[in-house]
Chains A and B, each alone.
Chain A
Amino acid sequence: MNFKHKYLFLLPGLLVLLAILIFPIGFTVRLSLSSWDSFYPALDFIGIENYVRLFTDDARFWEAFGRLSLLSVTTVFLQYVIGFGLALIVWKEIAFQRFFRVLFLIPMMTTPVIMTVIWRTFFHESLGPVNDILSHFNLAPLWLSSETLSKFTVMIVEVWQWTPFMFLLLLAGLLSLPKEPFLAASIDGAGPIRTFVYVTFPLMAPISIGAIIIRLIEASKIMDTVYVLTSGGPGTATETSSFYIFIKGLREFQFGYSAALSLTYLIIMIISFTIIAKILVKLMVRGN
């Protein structure tokens, strides 16, 4: 039979795909080969000049990338550890189990930008309640204007906001585990630690890897928290790749260069996540 007419049915979907995915990527590639900026808004062709500039004359991008790696890896690790701990607590039959399950999810239900404004108020160095309390102990940390501490502040907000997401995925994973391995471990005489190390953690490995990768992808796009909390400051102390691309593209209007930054960032991310996923599988799914 002739099935050529099937392309007719595929066409609407393909057109939508082309419009929303292929075209923007293609246009970004083309844009990255141009010098389009606010002074010269035209799609000229300058070859790989933007990429040469990025690799030879833009330490700020690479510093922002290093900072992003530190922030995302640290926050996701903390989110995983805390989220797993909370999930383990409410997984078992405990008093007020439902109440705690909902309580732990509240941060995720709030609007990130609004919550970051509230956190900024908390950590305000002269007017915020945190330093007000700490002043009783003669402490006045510079939560937002210290180069080191500002990174820590961003991490606190990120961990608070997104640990519930990790908690939710891991709790769903725990609830779906078969009960037989736990019964077998109990019959074998394993205590809670051995049961966790040899049963719970290995069984949760595939779910954990999925949750970590999802959060790493999200965390690598961190923008709103930094924008509202520190605006990348003090100086560039909390500036991440996406925030730097935002500055170049939408503040300095260097569209051609920011397109080159975006594409480079995208490729690095794809490679990084492939490697990270492989490392996680090797580390967490032992024996398979």
Chain B
Amino acid sequence: MAKIELQNIAHSYNPQSAEQIYALNPFNMTWEDGGRYAILGPSGCGKTTMLNIMSGIVQPSEGNLLFDGVDVTKLSTSERNIAQVFQFPVIYGTMSVEQNLAFPLVCRNYEKPAIDAKVNEVAEALGLQELLTKSASRLTADQKQLISLGRGLVRDDVAAVLMDEPLTVIDPDLKFRLRRQLKEINQKYRSTLIYVTHDQNEAMTFAENVIVMDAGRIVQVGTPKELFERPKTTFVGYFIGAPAMNFFRCERDGDYSLRFGGNTITTQTRLTELSASQLKLGIRSEYIKIVDTIGQNTIPARVKRVEDLGNHKLVSAVSNDLDIKVKVHRDTAIPAEQVHLDLPAENCCVYADEILVQN
């Protein structure tokens, strides 16, 4: 495995034009050796382009790609020593599972004993020993996807395993199992796994670090906890979490206070030198509490609707024409109409022109 560096990488589909339209705007990034990453974003945000640049399927119009310090930008896919798992399982249908796993080594002229040893090791790690002699085309979609992954793992020279929405065709119950297996594989082989998805649950449960993209730009890189608690932009706040983060337009009302909808809320963000045209307060529905008494950071609200979502309830409330979502435990008693909502200062994020104010 290798450390992967993307230096000023960008991709435009009209590089000769004076006004270039970027599918991927210039950016720098380093993928640490053995890391588990997820690239998350809506359809068309450039995540697959980024993956294809790393695998060599797409040549970037700008910048350099380095594997362990070696420039591989101009190298072909087969010369880059990467493995890729596609959205739909790719197996060699005329071969057995064993032959499928051995194929990359056969193509590289490995000796038979070395091939057998590696195939058996990977088959054991992926739980495919019982299926080795079976025809690959007869397996289920998740087993086929494991074979695709296995073909990447049998090679010792693989710099990274790239996965492009690999669980799209997998049943929901098997997705969980497969994700766990991927994590175990990462821990066992210390392989750099880069996982592209538009499903935030997949990204958050799989990766150590998540790269959130929007419209060809990287908007935030962080751990799932950071993305959830401190989204760097309002887009991340909307995109991560279900329901999306609550955002309220507001005005500065002191060094640490904001005013919105007739309410004053104290935050832990210093707002003294802020000169933004538009301010927003963001808070996750999980952090808002329904309280009986009026406090420093409470606001009055009217309960509009309560939805039972199984393990929790989603309360839709209105405060001075502002819609607020509150997520509470399913056993929490919800007052009939008028409530007070507590917005803890430590969970309040302030956004100036859609960007998180950090100090």
Contact = CB atoms under 8 A, between A and B. Distances in A.
Interface of A: 178, 180-181, 183-184, 186-191, 194, 198-199, 202, 286-288
A71 B94 CA distance: 31
Contacts of A194: 107
12 contacts: A180-B90, A183-B57, A183-B86, A184-B84, A186-B76, A187-B78, A190-B103, A190-B107, A198-B103, A202-B94, A288-B135, A288-B138
B127 interface: no
B353 to A, nearest CB: 41
Given A180-B86, A184-B84, A189 B92 contact: no
Most chain B beta carbons < 10 A, residue from A184, A188, A198? A188
A12 to B, nearest CB: 45
B145 to A, nearest CB: 12
Nearest to A180: B86
A189 B93 contact: no
B72 interface: no
B151 interface: yes
Contact of A191 (B76, B87, B107, B136): B107
Q: Which 6 A-B pairs have the closest CB atoms?
A: A189-B107, A184-B90, A188-B104, A180-B86, A287-B137, A287-B94
Interface in B70-115: 76-78, 82-84, 86-88, 90, 92-95, 103-104, 107-108
Main secondary structure of the interface of B (DSSP, over half): mixed
A194 B88 CA distance: 21
B103 A181 contact: no
Contacts of A189: 78, 104, 107-108
Nearest to B83: A187
A288 B91 CA distance: 12
A287 B135 contact: yes
A188 B94 contact: no
B49 interface: no
B107 A180 contact: no
B192 interface: no
B90 A288 contact: no
B140 to A, nearest CB: 15
Contacts of B57: 183
Contacts of A287: 93-95, 135-138
B148 interface: yes
A190 B151 CA distance: 12
Contacts of A178: 88
Contact of A184 (B76, B86, B137, B138): B86
A187 B107 contact: no
A189 B138 CA distance: 24
A18 B138 CA distance: 44
A288 B107 contact: no
A188 B95 contact: no
Contacts of B55: 183, 187
B122 to A, nearest CB: 14
B162 to A, nearest CB: 9
Nearest to B87: A180
Given A287-B93, A287-B137, A187 B84 contact: yes
B82 A187 contact: yes
Nearest to A189: B107
Interface string B50-62: 0000010100000
Given A178-B88, A188-B151, A288-B137, A183 B77 contact: yes
A25 to B, nearest CB: 40
Nearest to B79: A189
A288 B148 CA distance: 18
A181 B95 contact: no
A79 B199 CA distance: 48
A180 B148 CA distance: 11
Contacts of A190: 103, 107
A149 to B, nearest CB: 40
A207 to B, nearest CB: 15
Contacts of B137: 287-288
A180 B88 contact: yes
A120 to B, nearest CB: 44
A198 B92 contact: yes
A181 B90 contact: yes
Nearest to A198: B92
A204 to B, nearest CB: 12
Contacts of A181: 90
A286 B94 contact: yes
B103 A188 contact: yes
Nearest to A286: B94
B174 to A, nearest CB: 20
A191 B57 CA distance: 16
Contacts of A180: 86-88, 90
Contact of B93 (A183, A188, A202): A202
Nearest to A194: B107
B95 A198 contact: yes
A228 to B, nearest CB: 43
Nearest to B104: A188
Interface string B227-254: 0000000000000000000000000000
